Chain A
Amino acid sequence: MKTLMSHGKNINLIVGLLILSAFLLLMLLSFFYTPHDINAMNVANKLRGPSSEYWFGTDEFGRDIFSRIMKGTQTAFFVGALTVSIGVVFGTLIGGIAGYVGGWVDEVFMRIMDSFMAFPGIILALMLVAVFGPGIVNTSIALGLMAIPSIARIARSGFIQHKEFEYVMAAKLIGVKPFKIMFRHILPNVSSPLIVAASISFAVAMLAEAALSYLGLGVQPPDPSWGRMLKDSQAYLTSSPWYTYAPGISITLMVLGFYMLSNAIRDIMDPRSN
């Protein structure tokens, strides 16, 4: 807490945490309560502008946009969390083994990672979605696979650096098993860049999910997705321009929150970087 307080002037930290906790609260609330039923159609009320009853207006089926934005936080956090978990677990495992073992294992693992990075990000995501098919879980798996190479790289460089340190030598000498050295001893010491990378991956995953859902290849109805809402709003851009603002601003704010948080963590953990 003391270290947190001493960074009280870090704008990125304060604003980032504020944005993310607001969305987190909204998500928790949405499990129990939304102002309106998110799927209740009411054609008489379609495409109404913002009002005291419908804060962000209604969509083309007369559904409450604010309630759908609330429910959409679940999708956003779910996809982000699953993507980052896949990316961090496999990225750390692959990068850790490559860095710690070295030699041809390193060469082969990293060549494969580099090849994955040669694909422009969205192309890889689209190809994987083409194979796995759309949907929340498949989208997250595709984006998780996409996140692995960059995290593996970061993990690898940390492990390469630390495997030469005395504490690792000492652990080896008393006969600690390699796997335990890697993940009990080295990992905690190289975790800070990984935490930053995880936070960035969260932001990237959210943007990619929104893009895939906008293209109709990501999250499918009836699951509410902000990207999908943007796609639907495009048909009513001229007649109901406010329709597009709620999902657009939500995505931007949430992604911004994760970027700010990752910058803040980096500044705190490595003050030299600035």
Chain B
Amino acid sequence: MAYIIRRIILFVVTMATVSLITFSVFQVMPGDPIRIMLGTEADETQVETLKKQLGLDQPLHIQYMDWVKGLVTGDLGDSIRFSRPVTELLADRLPVTISLALITLIIVVIVAIPLGIFVAKRQNKLSDVVFSSVTQLGMAVPSFWLGMLLILYLGMNFSFFTISGYVPWTQSVVGALGALLLPALTIAIPQIAVKFRYVRNAILEQLRLDYVRTIRSKGITEKFVMYKHVLRNSMIPILTVFGLITAEVVAGTIIVEQVFSLPGIGQLLITSISYRDFPLVQGIVMYITFVVVFINFIVDILYSVLDPRIRLN
């Protein structure tokens, strides 16, 4: 329990500093944000009205407190460009990004874990070199270029895939899959290339331990050793890695949505930056960071349930 409370405090402190950074970054911005938003032709009254409307005539600490109060109550302010609440805009885009992230995660998990097990069983000098090269290549390829290559080689050749734009699930499940599968693969492939080695290492680590020798010497089949004992005990390091993946997948969606013209949160963020719509940028940054920090928090709690030793240190 003490462990969970410590984690909760850490979570709150992290989010508080994250909000402070997000807020301050836009204060140190060179130039007057209002002027930048309205353009050079705007007259004084326009500037004053918008300032008042955004609460920018208040002292900084009041502005910050108001902003945080809004964040906590789920009010991220209004977008200047779209003249709508940021939360509404996010809600519109959320289904696309969540679908994309979930499909990606599913692909990564169902490929990386079996691949890691497969590789762990066949360990030799040559395969080590091959697999470490695959991993390095996976880290080096820019995801958006990989997306373009997938469009070129899969998207163009199979009519199942939509290479640009989105089809809502409610309209057509096949259509939605066709629109999301290539972007999901784009994020998933480099993740798999890097993460299957973590699975492999976690399993190899276990295979070296004494208990494995003991159960093997009892004559238990190799399959049983692997799936009943080794895999279970490797789950904690594997889970750690998959906690990290979630953050990387969320970040990955931002660029990949752009490649496939998917109307998700990433696209909204890029749009808001190009229109210098700062309330919207701030809102999206806070929202995405909150989700990622929250997922890491949940993963931390999960470990302590899976492995009580973690709670003790």
Contacts and interface: CB of A to CB of B under 8 A. Distances in A.
Interface of A: 11, 111-112, 114-116, 118-123, 126-132, 203, 207, 210-211, 214-217, 227, 230, 233-234, 237-238, 241, 244, 247-248, 251-253, 255-256, 259-260, 263
B158 to A, nearest CB: 14
A121 B145 contact: no
Q: From DSSP, what is the main secondary structure of chain B's interface residues?
A: helix
A126 B26 CA distance: 12
B8 interface: no
A126 B273 contact: yes
Contact of B273 (A130, A247, A260): A130
Nearest to A258: B140
Contact of B29 (A114, A123, A131, A247): A131
A227 to B, nearest CB: 7
Residue from A120, A122, A255 having most chain B Cβ neighbours under 10 A: A120
Contact of A244 (B18, B143, B145): B145
Contacts of B151: 237
Contacts of B29: 131-132
Given A130-B281, A230-B145, A120 B251 contact: yes
Contact of B285 (A127, A230, A241, A248): A127
21 contacts: A11-B129, A111-B13, A115-B21, A119-B285, A121-B251, A123-B269, A126-B269, A126-B285, A130-B273, A132-B30, A207-B142, A211-B142, A211-B255, A214-B144, A216-B270, A217-B270, A234-B148, A251-B145, A252-B140, A252-B145, A255-B139
A130 B251 CA distance: 17
A115 B289 CA distance: 10
B25 A230 contact: no
Contact of A215 (B140, B149, B270): B270
B142 A210 contact: yes
Contacts of A118: 14, 17-18, 289, 292-293
Interface in B140-185: 140-145, 148-149, 151-152, 156
Among A111, A115, A129, A241, chain B packs the most CB atoms within 10 A around the CB of: A115
B248 interface: yes
Interface in B265-307: 269-270, 273-274, 276, 278, 281, 285, 288-289, 292-293
